[in-house]
């Protein structure tokens, strides 16, 4: 049981480049989330999804887009990367009901 | 919006001492509260989940309590070990949130010295 898998684990981008972060879960969870973690800021919610084909904005959505075409996958896109998007990105999932989260191991992104 | 605060931000204790980590939240309409551990450069590992109807949860040397009326949760780690060194985060989910979104505290960084 792999849980939540994030790819890639590390990436360096130049300003203006685009990329997609992939999150895959094998637990048949309905809800999936993308967070970013910055020193002194804690984890902040970027976007989330409550089911296949549905997405919604979180606390800090600007500069990001998401898609959930398949239940097990949640993609986070950066169309034109900026240095302010340098961060560690975490994906998480949870089933419906009163259950805890499962997190991926994170993607460390540096934008130069 | 649920505000979650963790005090202290950092804590250093000698091995064997009990650890007490505090988490406070502003909205008493809390659905559940979860404690996580994060090692440097790693992801978050779930430690304990407390439902709103529960007052505490225990797992091995870990015990977490929840007091909704005072807006507090406390994580106790008995007989600390150097391997307990990590950052501990608490996160709350509001009753009014249908989509399971969590509000995280900034964490308490713990160092257990041999």
Higher-confidence residue of A9 and A97: namely A9
Whether A34 shows a pLDDT value over 80: the answer reads: yes
pLDDT category of residue A1 using cuts at 50, 70 and 90: low
Contacts of A50 in chain B (CB under 8 A): 99-100
Alpha helices per DSSP H over B28-71: none
* pLDDT tens, residue order, chain B (114 aa): 668 999 999 999 999 999 999 999 988 788 889 999 999 989 999 999 998 889 999 999 999 999 988 999 999 999 999 999 999 999 998 887 778 888 999 999 999 999
Coil, helix or strand for B54? coil
Beta-carbon separation of A103 and B36 below 8 A:
yes
Is B51 an 8 Å CB contact of chain A? Answer: yes
Nearest-Cα distance to chain A for B104, in Å, is 6
Locate B9 and state its tokens.
């931000």
Cβ of B102 under 8 Å from any chain A Cβ?
yes
Residue whose C-alpha is closest to residue B72's, from B1, B6, B9:
B6
| Cβ within 8 Å, pair B43-A104 | yes
Tell me the C-alpha distance between B104 and B56, whole Å.
Answer: 19
**CB spacing of B100 vs A106 below 8 angstroms:** no
Give the CB-side neighbour count of residue B7, counting CA atoms within 13 A.
Answer: 4
């Amino acid at each position: 049981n792999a849980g939540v898998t994030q790819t890639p684990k590390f990436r360096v981008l130049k300003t203006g480049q685009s990329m997609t972060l992939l999150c895959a879960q094998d637990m048949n969870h309905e809800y999936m989330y993308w967070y970013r973690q910055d020193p002194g800021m804690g984890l902040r919610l970027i976007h989330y999804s409550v089911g296949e084909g549905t997405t919604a904005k979180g606390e800090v959505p600007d500069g990001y887009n998401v898609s959930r075409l398949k239940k097990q996958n949640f993609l986070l896109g950066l169309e034109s990367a900026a240095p302010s998007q340098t961060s560690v990105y975490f994906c998480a999932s949870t089933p419906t009901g009163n259950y805890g989260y499962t997190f991926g191991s994170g993607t460390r992104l540096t934008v130069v | 919006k649920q505000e979650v605060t963790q005090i202290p931000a950092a804590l250093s204790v000698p091995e064997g001492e009990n650890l007490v980590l505090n988490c406070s939240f502003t909205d008493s309409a809390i659905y559940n509260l979860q404690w996580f551990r994060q090692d440097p450069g790693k992801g978050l590992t779930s430690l304990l989940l407390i439902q709103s109807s529960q007052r505490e949860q225990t797992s091995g040397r870990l015990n977490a309590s929840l007091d909704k009326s005072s807006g507090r949760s406390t994580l106790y780690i008995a007989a600390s070990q150097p391997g307990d060194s990590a950052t501990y985060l608490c996160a709350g989910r509001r009753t009014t949130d249908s989509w399971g979104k969590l509000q995280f505290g900034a964490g308490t960084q713990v160092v257990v010295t041999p």
